[in-house]
Structure 1
Amino acid sequence: MLQKKICLLGAFGVGKTSLVRRFVDTIFSDTYLTTVGVKIDKKLLTIGTEQMALILWDIAGEDEVSAVRVSYLRGAAGYLLVVDGTRPETLDTAVSIQARVGAEVGDVPFVVLLNKADLQEDWAIPQERIERLEAAGWAFRRTSAKTGMGVEETFQELAARLAR
């Protein structure tokens, strides 16, 4: 069985823990829980005919004061950058994180999750900004940990990329 380490990275409060809970346990809670350090979960998937265990490292949120501990990133096969679509500054944080992660773990697959898509009326990230990053090779997916929209598909997509 293949085992792949996936890190979830992003600013505080973007929904990393909620996305993992939705994917692993198919539940959502409005209660905000701050992750301290790292929380590790595991989910088994079938990719084609292969079994794959995703080892999900939900890493504490980042702001200008606290940065991702690079030791958590070692051995990562891929990562998910989580952005809160209602808070444009979380995309700035994701750009900063991506540059540091690339320097630490090299060119590994990643997907950017534009989370909180259920709050479309509060959306604040300009489409032009997303298009510029897509032109630079970034893959964006809209997700909602609350409704489940796009969550399973995005994790499956990244797993499929890692199985190649």
Structure 2
Amino acid sequence: MPALSKKVCLLGDFAVGKTSLVRRFVYNLFEDRYISTIGVKVSRKTVTIPDAAGPVELTMMLWDLAGSEEFNQIQASYLRGAAGAILVCDLTRPETVTSLTTYAGNLTSINENVSLVVAANKNDLVNQLRVAPDEVAAVAASLGAPFYLTSAKTGDEVEAVFRHLGRLLVKS
């Protein structure tokens, strides 16, 4: 079986759930308390991705980047070499959806042929949702990216987001 290794960045504002999505995908764990990421944390997971030529063993090097304003100045060096990204927003905070285009623009200015998937996270907080799925769909469409309504807490669609990106990476 052919093997590939690809760098994937998780981008989004602070506290949207980037670290929680990685922890759910890699370790199948969820931690309720918020711990701010400082700089970058790298995790890895190997998945088998179906392909027309046969299955591919894809190792995803997951770069979980801090979402703070101060970090934006040094973020460019962490984005270099990324083959794909998961752009994460928080369905309870509309401003996090708006900033997705900025993150995508920063990334594509460094890596032209990067694959993108949008994760609209915290879909489980039904009484606090302030963003309609259509709004996220419109932003994702403008970026040429598929989008998923996710919950790192329940695990809803988390695997699907990473696997969709994996399929895009195998094809690129």
1:16 maps to amino acid: K
Sequence identity, in percent? Answer: 44
- Counterpart CA distance in 2 for 1:134 and 1:10 is 13
- Counterpart CA distance in 1 for 2:77 and 2:17 is 22
- Counterpart CA distance in 2 for 1:114 and 1:85 is 6
SS of equivalent residue, structure 1 residue 159? helix
SS of equivalent residue, structure 1 residue 12? coil
Contact 2:39 2:71 (8 Å CA) reproduced: no
Contact 1:4 1:53 (8 Å CA) reproduced: yes
Deviation at 1:129, TM superposition (A): 2.7
What is the match of residue 156 of structure 1?
A: 163
What is the match of residue 114 of structure 1?
A: 120
What is the match of residue 42 of structure 1?
A: 44
Q: Which whole-Å deviations, capped at 9, do the CAs of 1:22-76 have from their partners, x for residues lacking one?
A: 000000010211111000000010112211100000000134x541610101110
What is the match of residue 27 of structure 2?
A: 25
Aligned residues: 163
What is the match of residue 72 of structure 1?
A: 78
What is the match of residue 89 of structure 2?
A: 83
Contact 2:97 2:139 (8 Å CA) reproduced: no
Could you say what the CA RMSD is over the residues aligned between the two structures, in angstroms? 1.5
Could you list the runs of 5+ residues in structure 1 that have no partner in the other structure?
none
1:26 maps to amino acid: N
What is the match of residue 96 of structure 1?
A: 102
Contact 2:14 2:68 (8 Å CA) reproduced: yes
- Runs (4 or more) in structure 1 with deviation over 4 Å come to none
More moved, 102-111 vs 3-12: 102-111
Could you list the runs of 5+ residues in structure 2 that have no partner in the other structure?
none
The TM-score, its normalising length taken from structure 1, stands at 0.93
1:123 maps to amino acid: L
2:24 maps to amino acid: R
- Counterpart CA distance in 2 for 1:59 and 1:131 is 23
What is the match of residue 129 of structure 1?
A: 135
Contact 1:10 1:62 (8 Å CA) reproduced: no
Matched, 1:147 2:149: no
- Counterpart CA distance in 2 for 1:3 and 1:32 is 30
1:14 alignment partner, one of 2, 10, 16:
16
Matched, 1:5 2:7: yes
SS of equivalent residue, structure 2 residue 126? helix
